[in-house]
Chain A
Amino acid sequence: ETGVTQSPTHLIKTRGQQVTLRCSSQSGHNTVSWYQQALGQGPQFIFQYYREEENGRGNFPPRFSGLQFPNYSSELNVNALELDDSALYLCASSLEVSSYEQYFGPGTRLTVT
């Protein structure tokens, strides 16, 4: 059974640029959630995707957007990067949208300069 994978591992971007982060969900999982984890804090929910549709969103501006593909993999896009966007971005998958047991990938460390 393949776990959740994310790419890239690390990324450095300049303020104002755009970034795309990728996630492959655990085998058999159809729901993907994205979280932002700032240094020294717990993960903050960005949004969740189920059957290629956004299914819940946290307190993040519209410049954070996402996609889910038919194979359940997902992308997180962030436009007009700000310095405060520097964080670890975590993707988590779950077996069903009704399951709260979420399994996390290793994350993508984004640094905005």
Chain B
Amino acid sequence: GQQLNQSPQSMFIQEGEDVSMNCTSSSIFNTWLWYKQDPGEGPVLLIALYKAGELTSNGRLTAQFGITRKDSFLNISASIPSDVGIYFCAGADNTDKLIFGTGTRLQVFP
């Protein structure tokens, strides 16, 4: 099935560092969402974006809807150990389904 490309695939950072990850698609999307998944659990919605160029924050998380509507970015500032997990982007076009990315695995060391 179709999946969006996320990079990097994995990140190993020190506590307190900032993190950036992105998601790209060959198709245009009307909505971008970012989820975090912990082991053995379902994805948890972090941020939803609805408009090209939109920049939205949720605490230490900031996400942007790319101008071309084919990409999105997620930044985490001042990382903490509980930020560990897999981050997925998801895009929605005019159909009713979400298309998920391949995921970015984040590891934070104290």
Show the binding face of A for B, using Cβ within 8 Å. 4, 33, 35, 40-45, 48, 55-56, 58-59, 90, 92, 97, 100-107
Contacts of A40 in B (CB 8 A): 103
Contact digits for B87-110, partner A, Cβ 8 Å, 1 yes 0 no? 010101001111111110000000
Q: Are B95 and A42 in contact (CB under 8 A)?
A: no
Q: Are A42 and B100 in contact (CB under 8 A)?
A: yes
Contacts of A90 in B (CB 8 A): 42-43
Given A42-B3, A100-B92, answer yes or no on A107-B98 (Cβ-Cβ < 8 Å): no
Nearest 4 interchain pairs by C-beta: A42-B100, A104-B42, A56-B96, A45-B97
Q: Are B33 and A55 in contact (CB under 8 A)?
A: no
Partner of B97, one of A41, A48, A101, A107: A48
Partner of A104, one of B44, B92, B96: B44
Show the binding face of B for A, using Cβ within 8 Å. 1, 3-4, 31, 33, 35, 40-45, 48, 88, 90, 92, 95-103
A41 to B101, CA, bound (A): 8
Nearest Cβ in chain A — how far from B102, in angstroms?
A: 6
Nearest Cβ in chain B — how far from A9, in angstroms?
A: 9
Given A102-B45, A107-B42, answer yes or no on A44-B1 (Cβ-Cβ < 8 Å): yes
Q: Are A104 and B1 in contact (CB under 8 A)?
A: no
Nearest Cβ in chain A — how far from B51, in angstroms?
A: 13
Q: Are A100 and B42 in contact (CB under 8 A)?
A: no
A104 to B41, CA, bound (A): 9
A48 to B88, CA, bound (A): 20
Closest residue of A by beta carbon distance from B96:
A56
Contacts of B101 in A (CB 8 A): 42
Q: Are B41 and A106 in contact (CB under 8 A)?
A: yes
Closest residue of B by beta carbon distance from A58:
B97
Q: What are 16 A-B residue pairs whose CB atoms fall within 8 Å in the complex?
A: A33-B98, A41-B102, A42-B102, A43-B88, A44-B3, A48-B97, A56-B97, A58-B97, A92-B42, A100-B33, A100-B98, A103-B45, A104-B35, A104-B43, A104-B44, A106-B40
